[in-house]
Structure 1
């Protein structure tokens, strides 16, 4: 992550959306779908990633890096079942560094388990958790508290700020520091919404004709200083 958000000179449609619900399209269908576990709580069956970085401890997936062998690039634990329209839920805890949940993603480096596409960000600092980040592509698309629309333009599209879902500092207070937090990611057609502990953190509606519509789910270990990230209770509801 760590890239600038492109905003147009004029903002429009500003609205207070603290308790906004996602625009209706497949939302009801997704909500009524069966919840399916993606992690059995004991093994990494169904997932693949770089040896020595991922394990299962106390019923949680654990990604761990060290000062002795720092990562030079971001790497991921990948679930190879493509997902298109869905609600993904998980609980996470992070100690240092940065992580994220990749979805509708494409694997582009099999040797180092690297992917690109939309990401629901996770951060040990107060800055990035809840934002919408485009890994290896467009960078930051919506900061915490922002609702944006991506329209065609250039190679990456143009991010238009269309509203707010809360003050970033106030939203940060929803997080449990050094504890478990619940992430809910809803990918509903062109609209992608990130919730942490029940609060909408960011929302993006991508109207590009070549937008990402389906792809893998993956969990991130970020390059840089040593870090530990944990995930548990990973479930998905898929629209038929």
Structure 2
């Protein structure tokens, strides 16, 4: 375990060597994006670019996105961390993959911190094989056999009202052991203790999603990460 963490740290430091430290002023955080170009990231050619200091992707009527694709962060495969960023979503759906695996054709598999222009998925933890691992306003414990215990700690509609449509929102993801929490604009959205024997994700890449469907635009900025012991 020690050697895996050391290797991950070396990869992280290599990518971050050229990153701008301004957004990493919080103690222990390092910048994942330099605000200028896609150095340290890898994605479908032409699918992502930097616009006004933000990582950007867009689907239009003239050039629609026909299949989901992801922008991979090249900083390693962290297990336990705090990830903070800002996002702006105009239409459609997007998300940030954590503890994930690369798949062919710029695809991924793993956990996704979800966001959308509608009212269903923002602030939920998604996974391809399970859809909503835990929904907004819920805390869940998932046992090894897949059975679960859930409690509602807040109204999903009330939490949705904390999200600013078509504007910048602050998103925080905390992953430590089997526990993952998602918060938007300082409000806890969901929490899960995922012990599933087959589907729980222990470590993996971080990636940004471009989702197919109606015209939409997604932007990410101020991405920074803190590795946890």
* TM-score tier after normalising by the smaller chain length: 0.7 to 0.9
Q: 1:60 aligns with which of 35, 54, 60?
A: 54
CA contact (8 A) 2:111 2:125 kept: yes
Asked if the contact 1:165–1:200 (Cα under 8 Å) also holds between the matched residues in 2, the reply is: no
Aligned to 2:93: 98
Moved over 4 A (4+): none
**Residue aligning to 1:163:** 151
The separation in 2 between residues aligned to 1:192 and 1:69, in whole angstroms, is 36
Unmatched 5+ stretches in structure 1: 1-31
Deviation at 1:151, TM superposition (A): 1.7
Q: Does 1:175 align with 2:158?
A: no
CA offset digits 1:42-87 (Å, max 9, x no partner): 0100111111221101111001122233333211111131111000
Q: What is the CA–CA distance in structure 1 between the aligned matches of 2:180 and 2:32, rounded to whole Å? A: 20
The more displaced of 229-238 and 219-228 is: 219-228
Higher helix residue share: 2
The equivalent position to 1:83 in structure 2, one of 60, 67, 78, is 78
The corresponding residue for 1:137 is 129
Kept in 1, the 8 Å contact 2:90–2:165? The answer is: no
What is the TM-score normalised by the length of structure 1? Answer: 0.80
SS state of the match for residue 218, structure 1?
A: strand
1:120 is matched with which residue? 113
Q: Does 1:71 align with 2:65?
A: yes
Select which of 221, 225, 228 maps to 1:232: 221
Number of the residue aligned with 2:194: 206
Pick aligned residue for 2:173 from 178, 185, 202? 185
Q: C-alpha displacement at 1:172, in angstroms?
A: 1.0
Structure 2 gaps of 5+ residues are 1-25
Aligned alpha-carbon RMSD (Å)? 1.5
Counterpart position of 1:9: none
